[in-house]
Structure 1
């Protein structure tokens, strides 16, 4: 088969590399200049993805285009109209993720309750709002590519910390840039959980995953909101949450010709399910952690999706744990070249081929036969492990992570603890997980 990957950062590098190792032809376009060395010496890249369309066209039904981001939906829609087989999302999916107000409106349209959310394009207006109302809010910037580290979960009931942050942002904002675009969403107590599945343009595949992301940089939920420092995933136990959230979206996704993975992040509490945001694309490192539980390769899954030959996705019982591996200055770019870029990546004695298969690298390259750090931020990859329960999966993931040796390697040491000790049981108590589906 032939695969053309299109994205800014080569986020799916490990997936592409796996396809190539299994004998498929793969070409990758990397839009961000700072990331064009990602998987250097390991993947074939192209400077112009449009120039590769004829190469894909020649492969007929064996040619597939993969889009990584939620910012090129219009291009995907146009390529589908031209007859290409495209997996990624759609313009509608882009809007679901990037426009948080629209995403909440869609959730209300399918019968979900949403937290109060207020949109702003001026920091001064948001500060006036907080001075009048007070309370805890979550700051989230709109746009699929907005830096997650600028988002903030308010801690103080009088909004003093949020007011101070917005004041700082307003003073630091350059005069010649566009107005900010963000929301303040009412803070909700509960269990944060995600539900995801693949949509083939008509229907969802039958495997639905439940995930528990650990977004902060440090153990104990301290530090920056990085996007994701590790996650617990299972393909068992998500049916009730799926029926309440993603399943009702099927007609809307079908009307937009959406084809790809979609995830909805939620807060669940005694009052019910509260949608927070959509991920209308592959998740990173979600795709790698889910892969640990797949009982068939990606090319089989993708073929089923574009060919619409089957809705069955073969998955394993139990849980997968993913631990994100980083070096300084992650989650930022500033200083990476001086601090960590080009560092050698080594492995402890006893590392087996099976252990290597559980490592899904991201910002790495091969130079003179040596694996080294590459890219823009120091996001090295994810170590995965599986097990019949969360504890076993986490133990295996950390065993693999400890086999990796890089100067100044960092990762969280508590991925899965809160799921094992609290979150899963709480969801069972509230009736959102059938205990017969899976055990934590």
Structure 2
């Protein structure tokens, strides 16, 4: 079958890697793709958020299946346009995608079905929001209500930080995404990423993973889109997974169906695991990035079969054969990220890095130009590795990092530390 992936990041490169390994895949396209994806798929200069343009391209290229990677096309309703045209599509429609596009919507769904999450309040006026945080005190969490590319969250440890975040967000720092803010109780515990596939009725849990959101070692610095991940995550014990499914994920999916907007695709539950069990931090309506990179490496070609089952409504009884070896990914980012950073810097040593045993490098923000690979984003490379143990996988990943010649890049040196220091 001919398959189109929408997106241009490391998540989409990982999806392309897994899908291309399946014998069902005849011709693979990616729109718009990046410098690394181009080695696996034909990259197409197409606006992934323009449903009509995507639909027309699918007709011209004879596309049989569309996999939507990032959240923006989902929030824009691209899946609705494609399904209306009779195209088999993986990913939720616009209404269901509000689970990521609106923090308020998610909180209302949780309240309606009793899913445990942080106490919250929503504000559109700065004075009222400031009064609320002064009454609540710090630490406290300030979130832009809409899509902010993974950066619209401030975990404020002081009242001053909270006030500055409110002023920035309601003052336009995140555009329309920050026209309202959701202020949440600060939850303590250990964060984990829990992914399920769903066809709107049946639910298939995927392997566990854990992300590292802070920019610097020791979980210091600003929040980012993710600086590394590993799978499996020991914090997601069978009991925690069962409770997350029964108390959070399944009730929310049932509530979406009850409202007439069934959810089909991958649902990513960011969880806080505390003494009382799992609570929902947030939902994302796509594979996490960089968690997708470790999940795809462990699932391999079987991931395409699972995506098709979810899209066709035949997920009941389906199972993925996960590789037993753990996987880890280290994000190499441009100096300055998540703030201002340079683009267009040449990156060398990729062949040597890829030659390290167990290593696969996924491109997140690159472009190919004149035979060279250039940086073209904040998060640029995902140096991903498997090994018989997590420690060995991590050692391989960092050996590959050392082989990469990119003076303008940086990475955390402690990815996987929680699992490796666990008793």
TM category (shorter chain) comes to: 0.7 to 0.9
Asked whether 1:56 is paired with 2:20, we answer no
Equivalent position SS for 1:108: helix
Offset of 1:107 from its aligned partner? 2.1
Match of 1:302 among 303, 307, 310: 307
1:104–1:275 Cα contact (<8 Å) kept = no
- Aligned residues: CA RMSD: 3.2
Asked whether 1:419 is paired with 2:419, we answer yes
Structure 1 Cα separation of the partners of residues 187 and 156 of structure 2: 11
2:11–2:292 Cα contact (<8 Å) kept = no
Structure 2 Cα separation of the partners of residues 177 and 247 of structure 1: 31
Match of 2:295 among 290, 298, 309: 290
Equivalent position SS for 1:246: helix
Residue 412 to residue 386, structure 1, CA distance change in 2 (3 Å): same
Match of 1:213 among 211, 215, 227: 211
Question: 1:44 — aligned with what?
Answer: 43
Q: More displaced, 263-272 or 242-251?
A: 242-251
Match of 1:267 among 250, 266, 272: 272
Question: 2:192 — aligned with what?
Answer: 193
1:328–1:336 Cα contact (<8 Å) kept = yes
Deviations 1:252-276 (A, max 9, x none): 4555343221111121212232211
Q: More displaced, 72-81 or 281-290?
A: 72-81
Residue 40 to residue 215, structure 1, CA distance change in 2 (3 Å): closer
Structure 2 Cα separation of the partners of residues 7 and 113 of structure 1: 32
Question: 2:334 — aligned with what?
Answer: 327
Residue 350 to residue 283, structure 1, CA distance change in 2 (3 Å): closer
1:124-135 map, 5 Å: 124-135=127-138
1:77–1:257 Cα contact (<8 Å) kept = no
5+ residue gaps, structure 2: none
Structure 2 Cα separation of the partners of residues 178 and 401 of structure 1: 35
Residue 40 to residue 136, structure 1, CA distance change in 2 (3 Å): closer
Question: 1:380 — aligned with what?
Answer: 380
Deviations 1:187-237 (A, max 9, x none): 1111112211112343223x4222221100000111110021111222884
Structure 1 Cα separation of the partners of residues 367 and 179 of structure 2: 36
Task: Return the TM-score normalized by structure 1.
Answer: 0.80
5+ residue gaps, structure 1: 31-35, 426-440
1:29–1:47 Cα contact (<8 Å) kept = yes
Offset of 1:246 from its aligned partner? 1.7
Residue 151 to residue 360, structure 1, CA distance change in 2 (3 Å): same
Asked whether 1:313 is paired with 2:312, we answer no
Structure 1 Cα separation of the partners of residues 43 and 168 of structure 2: 44
Question: 1:24 — aligned with what?
Answer: 26
Structure 1 Cα separation of the partners of residues 329 and 378 of structure 2: 17
Q: More displaced, 120-129 or 48-57?
A: 48-57
Match of 1:136 among 119, 135, 139: 139
